[in-house]
Structure 1
Amino acid sequence: MTVNVTPHLNFRGDARAALEFYREVFGGHLVAVTYADAHAAETPEQADQVMWGQVTSPEGFAVMAYDVPPSREWDAGAAPFFVSVRGDDEAELTTRWKALSEGAQVLAPLAPSAWAPLYGMLEDRFGVTWVLDVAAPHQG
């Protein structure tokens, strides 16, 4: 059996914009089902918001997102999670970093670190914290 773990990001009205941005950064295919598509809109404003969405790429990138309905309490909180992107190609990671950095707050610049050949952390324009790194060989 194969098990894949996919981050599921929650937004309040920004899910489509975030998914489109992540598709631009990582490539792949975007699918978005609106509350209107599913006949589940609680308010007229919610109709075009994303009830279920995802971006998947042939390289293995996957992220899901939706807009939390107005009837549910939601608070983005302070760094409730990080999305980690780990690869083995420094040039590829650098390209993704540059794209994600657009409009972002860089928390740790993409650079060599004591624990990884390349590591960086940023909070993107949607408030999602991303960690990109090249994994160091495990010496365990």
Structure 2
Amino acid sequence: MSVTTTVHLNFRDKAREALEFYQSVFGGQVVAFTNGEAGAVEHPADTDRISWGEVRAENGFHVMAYDVRENETHDAGDRPFFVSVRGEDTEEITGYWKGLSEGATIMADLAPSGWAPLYGMLRDRYGVTWTLDVAAPYAG
């Protein structure tokens, strides 16, 4: 038996745009449907909002997202969570960094660190904080 963890991102009117952006960086397919398509419209403003969406790529990347409904509060907060992307290939991680960096605020440049061959942190143009690093063997 196995368990997987997937980051679920909450937006207000930006879910589809964000999913398409992440797909452009990591590849894979966007699957998304609106409240209107799901027959779950409680407020007219919710009709075209994403009820459920995801990007899933063959490289293992997977993220889910939706648009918070009109009758629900939404405050993205400063840094309520980080999305961590860890890989073994420097070139691959650098490519993801370059994609996510477009319009982002760099919090820590992608560079060698004391614990990883490469590590960086940024807040993307949607307010999501990402850490990217190249895995290093545990030295125990």
- Cα shift at 1:120: 0.3
User: 1:89 matched to which residue of 2?
Assistant: 89
- Cα shift at 1:49: 1.1
Amino acid at match of 1:33: F
Counterpart secondary structure, 2:102: coil
Tell me how far apart the structure 1 counterparts of residues 26 and 44 of structure 2 sit (CA, whole Å): 32
User: 1:128 matched to which residue of 2?
Assistant: 128
Q: Alignment length, in residue pairs?
A: 140
- Cα shift at 1:139: 1.4
Runs (4+) of structure 1 moved beyond 4 Å? Answer: none
- Cα shift at 1:2: 1.6
User: 1:49 matched to which residue of 2?
Assistant: 49
CA RMSD of aligned residues (A): 0.7
Q: How does 1:40-119 map to 2 (within 5 A)?
A: 40-119=40-119
TM-score, normalization: structure 1?
A: 0.97
1:43-73, Cα deviation, whole Å (9 max, x unpaired): 3232111000000001110000000101111
Counterpart secondary structure, 2:125: coil
- Cα shift at 1:42: 2.4
Residue identity over aligned pairs, in percent, reads 61
1:98-124, Cα deviation, whole Å (9 max, x unpaired): 010000000000000111100000000
* Structure 2: stretches of 5+ with no match in the other structure: none
* Structure 1: stretches of 5+ with no match in the other structure: none
